[in-house]
Amino acid sequence: MGETWQLVLDSFWPLLQGALVGTIPLTLISFALGLVIALVVAIMRLSGRRVLVGLGRAYVSAIRGTPLLVQLFVIFYGLPQVGLTWAAWPSAVVAFSLNVGGYAAEILRAAILSVPAGQWEAGYTVGMSRAQTLRRIILPQAARVSVPPLSNSFISLVKDTSLAAMILVDEAFKVAREISSATNEFLITYMEVAVIYWLICVMLSGVQDRIERRLERHVVRA
Amino acid sequence: MSSAPDHTPAPPSGGSPLLEVSGLRKSFGGTEVLTSIDLRVDTGTVVALIGPSGSGKTTVLRCLNGLEQPDAGVISFADGPAVTFSATTTRRRRESLRTRSAMVFQGYNLFPHRTVLQNVTEGPIHALGRTKAEAEELAVRLLDRVGLAERRDAYPHELSGGQQQRVGIVRALAMTPSLLLFDEPTSALDPELVGDVLRVIKELAEEGWTMVLVTHELSFARDVADEVVFMDGGVVVERGPASQVLGEPRQERTQRFVHRLLNPF
């Protein structure tokens, strides 16, 4: 028992380090970039221009219709064959951003559509352009609607970053694999890294609650 | 209450047309909503559009504000754009109409995430390029007129329907349009709140604002409107002075409509 406990303690710091330098920054950066992609794609899909709508739809379909692990391998192992060589870290960021972008685009599109048409018209009648109305009137209201589903994507991403271990990015799961193969303590090490992922997600849920309460201050449900 | 508000352009001598509409036509997916509408609104006058629901009154209003693209017809403002509509008219062209008029909506359509003051200053600051100080100064003055200066920092959901609609009116006024458009401004209100909003509209009419008003309040139309236009099935059936159209309508359809509204039971 003492020995087991010692193993848990010894591996805790390396695992946490993996989370701090790998999992967490990978998640934050990819999610931020993914949201930018998502907003662009959502607006393309709502633009009413056939080419843009088609491109946006194809992108979302490709991202949602293929495994994330395959996307990651195409970018890291595949693209160098056509001269696009990336280090592991940027490969992971690109893959995760594109993946989040595909899913979040649908969330944002639905959120924008959920804002009543009268809000667009009110923006127009006070002289604002479509872009101004979108930015100043529609998106703030869409943001509130999109927080719960976006939080889901965010939490999924925390866990999905473990796939980056497959292209040798230093993050929590890769550290866990190294420790377990060195010590042969698979159950304890993998359970421990699971707990670390879980703790990160619990903290994030707390953050989500706070954002939601903040955004809901001035909204009455119909 | 008799002089024009100082932020509006001085009204030209009465009787000159501010707005002229001719041959306005609009279909939605094969259903013709407006067949061929002609309309003239003189500066300083109030025109009330009445008629059964589905008669196209609201669509006329929305075309005037550039919210809807007519299939054909001409909308021209004396002091600004004249737009001839056809299948090739661009959105930009249609939207050039927008700055001449401002709309007060049936469902208020206030911005829920902005305070009363921000609702009113949003357009002047971000579309007209006013400074924040200028816009707020005008907004507070206008809010004061409708008795809401004290609620400037409230959010829309904290106000009653009547208060929200008065903010809606102030938001339109703050754009200093030459024409005010009211789309059934009291239809969504509880009966006891209707009076407050109608009072504000009446004061604006007396001050010389030019307006087009879609309404079901016939007694109010008779009270404030210089001209009443009765529409049915996408055409103008009858038009004339309020007392005539509402008091002694000539057309049978108008007679039936007025009778039904005045004697609901």
What ranges do the domains of chain B cover? Answer: 17-262
Report the C-alpha gap between B198 and B243 in whole angstroms.
19
pLDDT at B4 over 80: no
Residues of A in contact with B103 (CB under 8 A): 121, 125
pLDDT at B15 over 80: no
CB distance A218–B67 less than 8 Å? Answer: no
Mean pLDDT for the stretch of residues A178-205: 92
Asked if the C-beta of A184 comes within 8 angstroms of chain B's C-beta atoms, the answer is no
CB distance B98–A136 less than 8 Å? Answer: no
Asked if the C-beta of A127 comes within 8 angstroms of chain B's C-beta atoms, the answer is yes
Please tell me which of the candidates A119, A127, A129 has its beta carbon nearest to residue B111: A119
Q: How far is A187 from chain B (nearest CA, A)?
A: 50
Mean pLDDT across chain A, nearest whole number? 92
For residue B121, the chain A residue with the least C-alpha distance is A126
Split into its structural domains, chain A has a count of 1
For residue B103, the chain A residue with the least C-alpha distance is A125
Binned at pLDDT 50, 70 and 90, residue B3 comes out as very low
Residues of A in contact with B155 (CB under 8 A): 218
The amino acid present at B179, given as its one-letter code, is L
CB distance B109–A141 less than 8 Å? Answer: no
Report the C-alpha gap between A102 and B21 in whole angstroms.
47
Which are the contacts of B226, defined by CB distance < 8 A and separation ≥ 6? B42, B45, B46, B47, B241, B242
- Report the DSSP beta bridge partners of residue B27: B32
What backbone torsions phi and psi does residue A79 show, to the nearest 5 degrees?
-60, -30
Residue A138 belongs to a domain: yes
Mean pLDDT for the stretch of residues B186-199: 89
What pLDDT sits at residue A207? 87
For residue A117, the chain B residue with the least C-alpha distance is B109
pLDDT at A159 over 80: yes
Q: How far is A149 from chain B (nearest CA, A)?
A: 21
What pLDDT sits at residue A213? 84
Binned at pLDDT 50, 70 and 90, residue B128 comes out as very high
- Pairing, β B46-50 against β B211-214: parallel
The token pair that represents B127 in the structure block: 């579309």
For residue A125, the chain B residue with the least C-alpha distance is B102
pLDDT at B256 over 50: yes
Task: Please give the residue that has the higher pLDDT: either A220 or A171.
Answer: A171
Residues 203-222 in A contacting B (C-alpha not used; CB under 8 Å): 218-220
Tens digits of per-residue pLDDT, A51-82? Answer: 999 999 999 999 999 999 999 999 999 999 99
Where helices occur in A161-221 by DSSP H, the ranges are 172-183, 186-215
Asked if the C-beta of A132 comes within 8 angstroms of chain B's C-beta atoms, the answer is yes
pLDDT at B11 over 80: no
CB distance A126–B175 less than 8 Å? Answer: yes
Q: How far is A118 from chain B (nearest CA, A)?
A: 6
Please tell me which of the candidates A124, A128, A218 has its beta carbon nearest to residue B126: A128
The 10 Å CB-count burial string (b at 16+, else e) for A6-29 is ebbeebeeebbebbeebbbebbeb
Residue A174 belongs to a domain: yes
CB distance B157–A126 less than 8 Å? Answer: no
Residue A8 belongs to a domain: yes
The token pair that represents B99 in the structure block: 């700055």
What pLDDT sits at residue A85? 86
What pLDDT sits at residue B47? 96
- Report the DSSP beta bridge partners of residue B238: B230
- Report the DSSP beta bridge partners of residue A106: none
What pLDDT sits at residue A218? 65
∠ CA A102-A106-A107, nearest 5°, is 115
Q: Which domain holds residue A102?
A: 2-215
State the CATH class of domain B17-262.
Answer: alpha beta
Tens digits of per-residue pLDDT, B77-119? Answer: 987 788 999 988 888 888 888 888 999 999 999 999 999 999 9
Residues of B in contact with A220 (CB under 8 A): 112, 157
Mean pLDDT across chain B, nearest whole number? 90
Tens digits of per-residue pLDDT, B45-77? Answer: 999 999 998 899 999 999 999 999 999 999 999
Substitution target from A49, A119, A125 for chain B, most B beta carbons within 10 A:
A125
Asked if residue B18 lies in contact with residue B41, where contact means CB atoms within 8 angstroms, the answer is yes
Residues of A in contact with B127 (CB under 8 A): 126-129, 132
pLDDT at B211 over 60: yes
Asked if residue B181 lies in contact with residue B65, where contact means CB atoms within 8 angstroms, the answer is yes
Tens digits of per-residue pLDDT, B25-51? Answer: 999 988 899 999 999 999 999 999 999
Please tell me which of the candidates B67, B126, B157 has its beta carbon nearest to residue A220: B157
How far from B35 is each of B22, B225, B228, B235, CA to CA, in Å? Answer: 11, 24, 19, 6
Tens digits of per-residue pLDDT, A34-45? Answer: 999 999 999 999
The helix/strand/coil state of B70 is: coil
Report the C-alpha gap between A174 and A179 in whole angstroms.
9
Residue A148 CB coordination number (10 Å): 12
Residues of B in contact with A140 (CB under 8 A): 113
Report the C-alpha gap between B39 and B205 in whole angstroms.
19
Residue A221 belongs to a domain: no
Residues 22-61 in A contacting B (C-alpha not used; CB under 8 Å): none
The amino acid present at B98, given as its one-letter code, is R
CB distance B109–A132 less than 8 Å? Answer: no
Report the C-alpha gap between B156 and B234 in whole angstroms.
35
pLDDT at B232 over 90: yes
Report the C-alpha gap between B64 and B179 in whole angstroms.
10
Binned at pLDDT 50, 70 and 90, residue B260 comes out as confident
The CATH number of whichever domain residue A161 belongs to comes to 1.10.3720.10
pLDDT at B6 over 70: no
pLDDT at A13 over 70: yes
Residue A84 CB coordination number (10 Å): 11
CB distance B171–A126 less than 8 Å? Answer: yes
Asked if residue A103 lies in contact with residue B102, where contact means CB atoms within 8 angstroms, the answer is no
Q: How far is B180 from chain A (nearest CA, A)?
A: 11
How many interchain CB pairs under 8 A, A with B?
A: 68
CB distance A126–B107 less than 8 Å? Answer: no
What pLDDT sits at residue A59? 97
pTM of the model: 0.86
Tens digits of per-residue pLDDT, B134-169? Answer: 999 999 999 999 999 999 999 999 999 999 999 999
Rg over CA atoms, chain A: 21
For residue A218, the chain B residue with the least C-alpha distance is B113
Tens digits of per-residue pLDDT, A98-116? Answer: 999 999 999 999 999 999 9
Please tell me which of the candidates A122, A129, A132 has its beta carbon nearest to residue B109: A122
Give the DSSP per-residue string, B182-211.
EESTTTTS-HHHHHHHHHHHHHHHHHT--E
